[in-house]
A and B are shown apart, each in its own frame.
Chain A
């Protein structure tokens, strides 16, 4: 079964820390992987998309990496700020199907001043 797991489920850090969020997936035959941010009661905002042929993507203070062979992706957030507090979700689209992503449960991040 194709599954996506995000650990930890929750994380609380002081402002200014660099942090890493983890996403693991059970099938290495992926098409792409997308990281989202979700604020409470809101929709999902796309942060970064990594295609299967790519190793990483960067946007501002965010860097996402992809290692298909180990079934892992990490989202690195540099110099965290209270405004980064949100739930971060990982979604994997597998190859050879309907290109419908499977989502993890997310990591709830709190950055305190």
Chain B
């Protein structure tokens, strides 16, 4: 068990560019979550998958954001036409559905939009 991994760890992009982040969950976990965190705040829920199905999206998730989990394993989060307000830490977590739903987080991807 290598834990949840995220790539890249840091991304600096110019406003208007598209960016894509990847998350690899703990292998036996069927749930995968994306969160956004800004300084001094707790993580805010964006979306989650159970296996390959995207079951819920937050109203925070604008049309510029899209997420996929094509085979129920890794997931990608794409932001199109980035804005300065998208600058944040993007966190991925995974869990097993069932008894505890205990979440395990990756190291995060720090996005800076200039």
Contact = CB atoms under 8 A, between A and B. Distances in A.
A31 interface: yes
Q: Place the interface of chain B in its size category.
A: 20 to 34
Contacts of B103: 34, 44, 46, 91, 101
A34 B108 contact: no
Contact of A105 (B41, B45, B91, B101): B41
Contact of A103 (B4, B42, B110): B42
A102 B104 CA distance: 15
A103 B40 contact: no
B105 interface: yes
A89 B42 contact: yes
B22 to A, nearest CB: 15
B43 interface: yes
Interface string A30-41: 011010100001
A100 B48 contact: yes
Which residue, of A32, A43, A101, A102, has the highest number of chain B Cβ atoms within 10 A? A43
B110 A44 contact: no
Contacts, number: 59
Q: In the complex, which of the residues B45, B55, B110 has the most CB atoms of chain A within 10 Å of its own CB atom? A: B45
B102 interface: yes
A22 to B, nearest CB: 15
Contacts of A104: 42
B101 A43 contact: no
Interface string B1-26: 00010100000000000000000000
16 contacts: A9-B40, A41-B110, A42-B108, A44-B43, A45-B105, A46-B103, A49-B100, A49-B102, A89-B43, A91-B103, A100-B45, A100-B56, A101-B45, A103-B43, A103-B44, A105-B41
Q: Which 7 A-B pairs have the closest CB atoms?
A: A103-B42, A44-B105, A43-B105, A43-B107, A99-B101, A43-B108, A105-B42
